[in-house]
A and B are shown apart, each in its own frame.
Chain A
Amino acid sequence: MNIYIGAENIISPLGSTAEENFGALSKNSSGIKKTEAAGFDKKSIFFSRFAENTNDFSFDALLKNCLKNVRSKISPDIFSSEKTLLILSTTKGDIKSENVNPIGKSVSELQNSFELKHAPIVVSNACASGVIAINTAANFIRAGVYETIIVAGCDVISDFVTYGFECLFAISDKPCAPFDKNRTGITLGEGCAAVVLSSHKTIFNVEPMRFIEGTSGNDANHISGPSRTGEGLYRTVKKTLELAGITEKDIDFISAHGTATVFNDDMESVAFDRLNMQHIPLNSLKGYYGHTLGAAGIIETAICLQSMRNNTLIKSMGFEEEGTVKKINIISENKKLSLETVLKTSSGFGGVNASLLLKKS
């Protein structure tokens, strides 16, 4: 069975459609800016965040607007079909200090406003949530449980998450610099994105790509530190390639995770080296979007689809000088390249890693 993926949309500080976002990346514009007095001790912090004092960018509004756009890109009757499911990917939903359990309400509202037949499922797998949500959707379609699944990812910046990463000393004091020698940590970001997976090619208004395979794997090493050997990432990519029946030679581009912490980026370089993928062009989009947590995997997959449509590799923003344990091929400027097969990877707390393969249809 072929599984198609398309109708992608992104709402981020860089734009409110996938095309606007890709346009900003093509100009190497970053959404990262300094916010004064945002930290626990009122120090200034770099974020990729929306303009404040507007409700247009609340967790619920982002999802609603993003899904409205997606709905206009596929056949009109799909959202309310018995054979359609909505999967949400988020780490903390609309968390506020005074309300730590806001996800259920958002989910019910979405089900009502889009007249969905089934209650949406929320995937919560730390920073690998987005890729795992897409893989879960593909598995459900392959097993015949659903025909079309809309996968949306959203996370917003909150005191909760900011103070959390601050107390782990994980936040960079400058815009994050994935895979760069002088990287010092993450920059948090916010945003929302969605893609549609379906066994029916004809539901898409614009030619979709194909979803080939996707798997996840655990490091079995540490709950908040990446494995030194990249074991989980190595295993998931290997498994995904095996199921797809292809080798690393077939991959044109890797959209990596690249959070810009010292240990994460080293871990990824080790895993890609073990996979003989050190020569394949690779980027991280965190230098444009910051780390959007549960939205990251969906935003980055949507940009993979845009890169494939435009046959364009996007520069890995923030990378100046090599400085990972193993040398990898980081994209240092935008360039044109025919992209047939693309690998997307994510890694997160709890030692979870995930990968998926996309191909032109």
Chain B
Amino acid sequence: MNHLSSYCHISTKEIVTDKGALLFDNTEGLEVNDFLKTVYKKLAIDYPKFYKMDSLSKAAFLGVELLKKENAALAEYADDEIALLFANSNASEDTDKKFVNSYAEEHAPSPSLFVYTLPSILMGELAIRNKWYGESLFVILQKFDAAFFADYCNMILLRNAKACICGWIEITEGKTEAFIFLAEKNGNENNTPLTKQTIEKIYKTIMKQSRPSKV
């Protein structure tokens, strides 16, 4: 039985993990890029490449760093045993708009923006950071689809990987959301089974928690 071992959720309001703790509370109301930079500093990670990433990659990067912190076992896998599955409904819309602006308004198409106009680049950043050589898939879905995540993970864990890091990650104007979780083949018996129902339940709980704004 495959398991959902751990998860975290990032929004501009806060970051929470399955341990329930409110890790970072964006009471100052920072915009996403600044909020993510603050989180990076608080986590005391030394990886200067972080600063040149777009917001999508930054959010995925931080989510995976948090999962690693709480799941020491991730370091035990061979370098090609961890698969990556990420999805959203807007591809790289936020960066696409910035790239259009660079040529249409500023008359200087920006190469550093253009390379991030593919959402799958975030998985390249994760692979480089962690020296992971395994399978990766980015899909665009009309909306969050727990069945897709469950089906794909259970399938990739059959033969191609022993763990799969999954993420639903959307950053558009006024909206930031990254739900990142770890699925494992040889999870602990006490872990949550990896099914459409359990993924759906966690996602809904997270959405409910993150809705009310802080006073």
Contacts and interface: CB of A to CB of B under 8 A. Distances in A.
Interface of A: 40, 91-93, 95, 97, 100-101, 103-104, 107-108, 119, 121-126, 132, 136, 139-140, 142-143, 145, 159-160, 163-168, 215-224, 231-232, 235, 239, 243, 348-352
Interface of B: 79-80, 89-91, 93, 96-97, 99-100, 103-104, 109-111, 114-115, 117-121, 123-125, 127-128, 130-142, 148, 151-152, 154-156, 158-160
Contacts of B130: 220
A121 B139 contact: yes
A40 B103 contact: yes
Contacts of B137: 123, 125, 132, 136, 216
A218 B148 contact: no
Contacts of B138: 123-125
A223 B142 contact: no
A220 B136 contact: no
Contacts of B131: 220
Interface centre among A142, A164, A222 (most CB of B within 10 A): A164
B115 A223 contact: yes
Contact of B124 (A140, A142, A168, A352): A352
Contacts, number: 149
A61 B150 CA distance: 33
B151 A220 contact: no
B156 A139 contact: yes
Contact of A218 (B96, B109, B134, B152): B134
A349 B121 CA distance: 7
A-B residue pairs, 3 tightest by C-beta: A350-B124, A164-B114, A122-B140
A223 B128 contact: yes
Contacts of B118: 91, 124, 126, 349-350
B154 A143 contact: yes
11 contacts: A40-B109, A101-B90, A103-B140, A104-B89, A108-B142, A122-B140, A125-B137, A126-B120, A140-B151, A216-B136, A349-B120
A239 B117 CA distance: 29
Contact of B120 (A221, A232, A352): A352
A243 B159 contact: yes
Contacts of B160: 139, 215, 239
A224 B117 CA distance: 12
Contact of A101 (B91, B135, B156): B91
